[in-house]
Amino acid sequence: MIHPFHPLCGEAFEFLERLNSWRGDVVLVLDGQGRRCSLPLEWTDMATVDAFVAAAGGGCPYRTGDLVESADLVAGLVSGRQCDVGEMTP
């Protein structure tokens, strides 16, 4: 587990398999009690490292796409446009 804010950050789990679910890629693992559980792929070290985070030396907890989407939402609010998350703005 590599998610910096998760209470189990730094813990190791037994890997079972990687799946694509409705929410995206997940990893099935066995927890400390031997139960199957799923984790978002990006919370594990199996995820591809974002180029921006790598260039920042791990000092940036945000992904480039997330920052761009946030900037688009803020620009929409400032200009008075309304848009939903993930919606393309004109």
Per-residue pLDDT reduced to its tens digit, 50-65:
777 777 776 777 777 8
Judge if 35 and 68 occupy the same domain.
Answer: no
Judge if 36 and 58 occupy the same domain.
Answer: no
Q: Minimal CA–CA distance to 55: which of 47, 45, 63? A: 63
Judge if 30 and 12 occupy the same domain.
Answer: yes
pTM above 0.75, yes or no: no
Judge if 41 and 64 occupy the same domain.
Answer: no
Judge if 9 and 43 occupy the same domain.
Answer: yes
Percent residues over pLDDT 90 in the chain: 16
**Number of domains, the chain:** 2
pLDDT at residue 9 greater than cutoff 70: yes
Across all residues in the chain, what is the average pLDDT? 80
Q: How far, rounded to the nearest angstrom, does the alpha carbon of residue 38 sit from its chain's CA centroid?
A: 14
pLDDT at residue 89 greater than cutoff 70: no
Judge if 77 and 66 occupy the same domain.
Answer: yes
Domain extent for 33: 1-47
Judge if 4 and 40 occupy the same domain.
Answer: yes
Q: From CA 81, how far away is CA 90, in angstroms rounded? A: 9
Answer for the pair 80, 74: CB distance below 8 angstroms, yes or no.
Answer: no
**AA letter at 17:** E
Q: Would you state the structure tokens that stand for residue 4, as one six-digit string?
A: 């910096």
What burial class does residue 28 get, using C-beta atoms within 10 Å of its C-beta: 0-12 exposed, 13-18 middle, 19+ buried?
Answer: middle
